[in-house]
Amino acid sequence: MVSDERDAVTVLEEYWHILLGHKLPKISKVAEAFGRTYDATEEHDAYYLASASLLPKAAIVEAVSQNLSSAR
C-alpha cells in the first residue's frame, strides 16, 4: 500500500514535469513487451522539486536561519 505522503509527491512530480516543460515519454514495443523512454535528469528534477514543495515552511525557515546544510 502506498502512503498518502508518497501519493502527494507523485502528483506534484507530474505537475513539475508539466511546469518544467518536460517532453512526454514515448511508448514503444520491443519484442513482446512495451516500454517507455526515461530521462533520469528530468525524473530527478521533478521528484526533487515535488519533495521540496512539500517541506513545511517553518522547518525551512529554521534550517536556513541556522545555516544548516541540505543534508541536515
- Angle, alpha carbons 55-59-68 (nearest 5°): 110
pLDDT level of residue 1 (50, 70, 90 thresholds) = low
pTM value?
0.69
Q: Angle of helix 40-53 relative to helix 4-19, nearest 10 degrees?
A: 120
pLDDT 10s digits, 16-61: 999 999 998 899 888 889 998 889 999 999 999 998 888 899 988 9
Q: Give me the phi and psi of 26, to 5 degrees please.
A: -100, 140
Question: Kind and range of the H or E element at 30?
Answer: strand 27-30
Whether residue 6 is predicted with pLDDT greater than 70 in this model: the reply is yes
Whether residue 65 is predicted with pLDDT greater than 70 in this model: the reply is yes
- Domain layout of the chain by residue ranges: 4-65
Contact 52/64 with Cβ under 8 angstroms? Answer: no
Instruction: Pull the grid cell for residue 13.
Output: 512530480
